[in-house]
Amino acid sequence: MMLSKTSEYALRSLMYLALQATKEHKVGIKEISQELDLPMHFTGKILQDLVRKGLVASLKGPNGGFFLNHPASTITIMDVIKVVDGGEAFKRCGLGMNKCSDTHPCPLHEDFKVFRDGLARVFNQKTIHDLVQEVGTGHAFIKNLVEVS
Amino acid sequence: MMLSKTSEYALRSLMYLALQATKEHKVGIKEISQELDLPMHFTGKILQDLVRKGLVASLKGPNGGFFLNHPASTITIMDVIKVVDGGEAFKRCGLGMNKCSDTHPCPLHEDFKVFRDGLARVFNQKTIHDLVQEVGTGHAFIKNLVEVS
DNA sequence: CACATAAAGCATATAAATATCCTTTAATCC
DNA sequence: GGATTAAAGGATATTTATATGCTTTATGTG
């Protein structure tokens, strides 16, 4: 609702890379998509884009794959969102009005601003490193739970 | 980013009805879409839907149009969102994971929850009446500012 | 009753997001 | 150098959200 699926996939893939990949041990699309339960080709597309934008590096061929181009502690959530969705999402009016500001507010402006800006602040501060730390300690998860039939 | 355009249009249309329409003086699609700068036919569709769901009433023919079926003070923002987008938007995981809960959280869960639930609380409390009150006092606006060329 | 008005209903168009497939290119291994 | 592996690139498919147009039905007016 807040982030596009593309952003969600990008963030989870980056977390997976932060956890599993190094320049020496790269990780391929197949592994990422299988482990995170993501559509393979689409994930490939997204990773390609992240390479172009410089967040991720890649190498072709055997033992090829993806790995983070910079330390995970230097990549904020907002960096990723901006690269993938563009930076406008957190500026929009809650009611979609063309001009909505403190001086010409929509009736939802004040309430909405609090949450939108609060979330933006979190996204600007938290890095991929912060996120995976919780995964490392077992306090959080990035893999989907499998449905049992 | 948060609400679909459909919800945004619905909310603004309902506010317009609350301000301008009564059972005696109904308001047509043409007026609503012109005043609020919304796509006319699409707005018609949305209003139709709101009629079906019981939030709005309508009458055909000359002097026909739309008007609120219930007092504006009894329609919450969330009522509208639920009717238009379905009630699931405010339950989704911030990273789109299939299961994400306090016991099996994604790395964003705690931070995200605060804002998502906070906004949901506002949406559950605020009514169309609350929103238009600010418009009535001139402290807020529902009409788009016109671009001057 | 004929005519005008305005929503309802339905079919369709367009755009954007999401997803897949296939060919090409680069790297490694033998 | 030939075979294999894996990403890059580009074309295309599918789905969902957004938007429009046309026909039908109900209401009011002269």
Chain A residues with CB under 8 Å of B125 CB are none
Average pLDDT over residues B68-88: 94
Number of domains in chain B: 1
Is B64 inside a domain boundary?
Answer: yes
pLDDT digit string (tens) for B36-66? 999 999 999 999 999 999 999 999 999 899 9
The predicted-structure confidence for A39-73, as pLDDT tens digits, reads as follows 999 999 999 999 999 999 999 999 899 999 999 99
Would you state the pLDDT for residue A147?
A: 61
pLDDT at B114 exceeding the cut of 90: yes
| pLDDT grade for B7, boundaries at 50, 70 and 90 | very high
- Whether residue A149 is predicted with pLDDT greater than 80 in this model: the reply is no
What mean pLDDT do residues A118-128 have? 96
Mean pLDDT, chain B, integer = 93
Say which of B12, B95, B104 has its CB closest to residue A8: B95
Contacts of B25 (CB under 8 A, 6+ apart): B67
Q: Could you tell me if B3 and B120 are in contact, meaning their C-beta atoms sit under 8 angstroms apart?
A: no
- Chain B contact for A86 (CB, 8 A cutoff): no
Structure tokens at A147: 């449905």
Query: Where do runs of H (alpha helix) occur along B61-101?
Result: 77-85
Query: In this structure, what DSSP letter does residue B89 have?
Result: G
Tell whether A30 is covered by a domain: yes
Task: State residue A146's pLDDT score.
Answer: 76
Assigned domain for B37 exists: yes
Q: Does the residue A78 lie in any domain? A: yes
- pLDDT > 90: percent of chain B: 89
Mean pLDDT of A133-138: 96
Mean pLDDT of chain A: 94
The answer, yes or no, to whether residue B96 has pLDDT greater than 90, is yes
Kindly state whether residue B147 falls inside one of the protein's structural domains.
no
**Element housing A67 (H / E):** strand A65-68
**What residue numbers bound the domain in which B61 lies?**
5-84+127-136
Cα–Cα distance for residue pair A26/A67, rounded to 1 Å = 6
* A120–chain B Cβ distance below 8 A for any pair: no
Q: Which of A33, A30, A42 is nearest to A12 (CA)?
A: A33
* Domain presence at residue B117: no
* Domain assignment of residue A104, yes or no: no
Quote the DSSP letter at residue B27.
Answer: B
The owner of tokens 């339960």 is: A37
Whether A120 is in a domain gets the answer: no
Residue B56's closest CA among B98, B84, B97, B33?
Answer: B84
Tell me, what CATH number does B17's domain have?
A: 1.10.10.10
B98 CB less than 7 Å from any atom of strand C: no
Mean pLDDT over B2-30 rounds to 95
